[in-house]
Every structure is written in structure tokens, then in C-alpha cells.
């Protein structure tokens, strides 16, 4: 069954998901997405009640966990201890010093941590795919080629968003800085200007996207970067932005507890995507987003998944290669080895 000392290095890499939190999902008024889960979706309480400390972030990387967080608080799994951690760098610090056993991270930050700890961190699950969208105040951009001659505002300079926009533009024959003026700014500043209509194009992650769409009816999702990445790569790789990482020492000492946790996490993802109303209340309760209204609108676009085990490397390797080719330091200076991807023993 598929179950699927170094803080400053990660500051820039973390920017792309610090606002977001991570296969395209339909808009909030469309059909509820089918959960993508490649682990057991049937939680089983076993005799293994190992205490596990888990750090989660605001945004999509934390959304899939809220069902399990609620179960932990209600006493179903009292040995799971969740902490909402504001900054990616804090998750890195707490994983590094052993305060956390597992933590939500951008996938490339996990790769960096693997490199900097000499393989002492493993990825145990992908918990969200792409959450980047190009928004337009207007109706003129319907393809990447339509960006030629335009100015687009993005957050995340020196991190995933910059690498993704540059990669997609180049794959369509457009040169960033020449054919397209890519301007980087703070996400909150970009959001405010999109809402007021002071700028007409931006690329931001969910749930910032959701808030803009709710506050300015003239703004539309022009391009889904998950789709655009897949078309540009054309190799079956997927934009995979969020994951759960765990300390290798903890995995080796408690493999059954890790496998049980992954089964329960997969069930949480199914629960979250199966009932958006109830899940939105939980997302707000745990302060993953500001309120339930934003949470309900954001959930279908948050690309929440649970991909584990033997499916991890095929899903991630192509994406990491794109990042490595753009900037080797974005994944720790080298492509992660096979031991980065946690596959339970048969």
C-alpha cells in the first residue's frame, strides 16, 4: 500500500508559499473537486500512540490537515500535536532542532533542508500542487503569448514564483524583462492595487487570489499556472508546491506511527474536499485563512492533495529539475537523492 542551524538560506525560497501557505482545480462556483489521494483513506487507530509534533502553515499547505487537527482536538488522536506556525523559516528551525517531527513546507524548501542536513529530512507527502494564478483587470489575456508587451506584478522574487513565470514565458518564446516586464513587489501591495484597479495584471497564490476576486468583480483568473507549467514542461511533471516533511530520525524510530499518520492525513484530505461548508469553518477556526467565506471560496482552487510513497519521486523530480536548471540553490545546490522520498517498507 502506498503511504504515502540554517534559517537564512530559506528566507527567499519561502516567499512564494508564505502567503499561500500550495492539477488545477475548478472555481468556487463549479463542481467540488475530487480529492487526489494515493494513500489509504480509511483511518485506523492502532496500538501505536506515538506522540507526533506537526507544524502547519497558513494557506493551502495547511488546509488539508484541518480534519485531522479537529480529530486531534476532539480526542480521536490525542497524540497528534499540531502547531500553526506563521513563517516557513520557523518550521525549518523547529524541524532542524527537533521541536517538530513533521512540518508543512514548500517542496523546494524541503529539498534545501534535505541538502543542508545531509539527508536528515525526508518528504513524506505532497499536500498541494500549484496555487499560482495570473489575474487580469480586464479580458485581453487568454494565453501566455497575450502577455507580450505587458507588465505583470508578482511576489516571490528569488523563489518559486519567479522561476515559474520565467520558465513559462521562455517556453513560449518570450524573454522576461524584454518581451514581458515582470515587476516584483510585496503580495499585499499587489493585492491592494488589483482590488483598486491601479494595476491590471498580476500573478499571486491562493488565497490572495480568492480575496482579490471577491473584492473586485472586474478581475478574472486569466491563466492557471499549474496548467501552463504542465503544457510548457510537456514531460508529465506537475507543479508541486507544498509538502509534509519529517525528520529521518523520527521516521526510522517510528515507521508505523508515520504510516498511520499518512493514512489519517489522506482521510483528512478526503473529508476536507468532500464537505466544503464544514471544512471552511474548520479552516477559519484554525486560522489557516482569515474567515470561512474566504476559505470556502479558496478551497477548490487550493490544489489540495495527498500524494505519498512510490508516487512522490515521479511527481516531484521534473519540477525540481526545472528549478535546478533555473537556479541550483533553489533546491539546495543538487537534485535530491532517492532517500529524500519516503517509501514505506513492504
Superfamily of chain region 8-130+239-340: Periplasmic binding protein-like II (3.40.190.10)
Spacing of C-alpha 272 from chain mean position: 16
Domain ranges of the chain: 8-130+239-340, 132-233
What per-residue confidence (pLDDT) applies to 23?
Answer: 31
Strands 201-205 and 151-154 turn out to be parallel
What per-residue confidence (pLDDT) applies to 290?
Answer: 85
What per-residue confidence (pLDDT) applies to 46?
Answer: 53
In whole angstroms, what is the distance from residue 311 CA to residue 211 CA? 33
pLDDT < 50 positions in the chain: 1-35, 37-45
In whole angstroms, what is the distance from residue 332 CA to residue 328 CA? 7
What per-residue confidence (pLDDT) applies to 237?
Answer: 79
In whole angstroms, what is the distance from residue 323 CA to residue 326 CA? 5
In whole angstroms, what is the distance from residue 14 CA to residue 160 CA? 8
What per-residue confidence (pLDDT) applies to 36?
Answer: 53
In whole angstroms, what is the distance from residue 310 CA to residue 313 CA? 7
What per-residue confidence (pLDDT) applies to 158?
Answer: 82
Q: What order of strands is seen across the sheet that includes strand 304-307?
A: 36-37, 304-307, 121-128, 242-247, 102-106, 52-56, 80-84
- Which tens digit of pLDDT belongs to each residue from 312-342? 999 999 999 999 998 999 999 999 999 999 9
Whether 8-130+239-340 shares its CATH topology with 132-233 is answered: yes
For 132-233, which CATH class? alpha beta
- Pair 10, 92: CB distance under 8 Å: yes
Q: 281 is written with which cell numbers? A: 469553518
Contacts 24+ apart (CB under 8 A), 142-146: 142/222, 143/223, 144/168, 144/169, 144/172, 144/174, 144/223, 144/228, 145/172, 145/174
- Which tens digit of pLDDT belongs to each residue from 115-172? 999 999 999 999 999 999 999 999 999 999 999 999 999 998 888 889 999 999 999 9
In b/e form, how buried is each residue of 196-210, taking b as 16+ CB within 10 angstroms? eeebbbbbbbbbbbb
Sign of CA pseudo-dihedral 159, 165, 171, 176: negative
Amino acid at each position: 500500500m502506498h503511504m504515502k542551524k540554517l534559517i537564512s538560506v530559506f528566507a527567499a525560497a519561502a516567499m512564494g508559499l508564505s502567503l499561500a501557505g500550495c492539477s488545477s482545480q475548478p472555481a468556487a462556483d463549479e463542481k467540488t473537486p475530487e480529492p487526489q489521494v494515493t494513500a489509504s483513506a480509511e483511518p485506523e487507530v492502532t496500538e501505536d500512540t506515538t506522540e507526533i509534533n506537526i507544524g502547519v502553515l497558513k494557506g493551502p499547505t495547511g488546509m488539508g490537515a484541518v480534519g485531522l487537527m479537529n480529530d486531534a482536538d476532539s480526542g480521536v488522536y490525542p497524540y497528534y500535536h499540531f502547531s500553526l506556525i506563521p513563517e516557513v523559516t520557523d518550521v525549518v528551525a523547529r524541524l532542524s532542532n527537533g521541536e517538530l517531527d513533521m512540518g508543512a513546507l514548500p517542496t523546494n524548501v524541503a529539498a534545501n533542508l534535505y541538502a543542508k542536513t545531509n539527508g536528515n529530512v525526508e518528504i513524506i507527502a505532497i499536500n498541494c500542487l500549484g496555487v499560482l494564478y495570473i489575474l487580469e483587470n480586464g479580458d485581453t489575456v487568454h494565453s501566455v503569448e497575450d502577455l507580450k508587451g505587458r507588465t505583470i506584478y508578482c511576489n516571490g522574487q528569488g523563489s518559486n514564483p519567479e522561476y515559474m513565470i520565467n520558465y513559462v514565458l521562455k517556453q513560449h518564446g518570450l524573454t522576461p524583462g524584454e518581451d514581458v516586464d515582470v515587476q516584483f513587489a510585496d503580495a499585499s501591495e499587489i493585492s491592494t492595487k488589483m482590488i483598486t484597479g491601479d494595476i491590471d495584471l498580476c500573478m499571486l497564490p491562493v488565497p490572495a487570489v480568492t480575496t482579490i476576486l471577491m473584492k473586485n468583480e472586474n478581475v478574472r483568473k486569466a491563466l492557471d499556472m499549474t496548467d501552463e507549467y504542465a503544457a510548457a514542461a510537456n514531460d508529465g511533471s506537475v507543479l508541486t508546491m507544498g509538502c509534509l516533511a519529517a525528520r529521518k530520525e523520527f521516521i526510522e524510530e517510528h515507521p508505523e506511527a508515520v504510516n498511520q499518520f499518512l493514512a489519517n492525513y489522506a482521510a483528512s484530505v478526503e473529508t476536507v474536499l468532500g464537505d466544503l461548508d464544514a471544512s471552511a469553518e474548520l479552516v477559519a477556526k484554525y486560522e489557516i485563512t482569515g474567515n470561512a467565506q474566504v476559505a470556502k471560496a479558496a478551497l477548490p482552487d487550493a490544489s489540495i492533495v495527498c500524494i505519498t510513497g512510490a508516487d512522490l519521486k515521479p511527481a516531484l523530480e521534473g519540477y525540481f529539475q526545472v528549478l535546478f536548471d533555473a537556479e541550483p540553490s533553489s533546491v539546495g545546490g543538487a537534485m535530491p537523492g532517492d532517500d529524500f522520498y519516503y517509501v514505506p517498507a513492504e
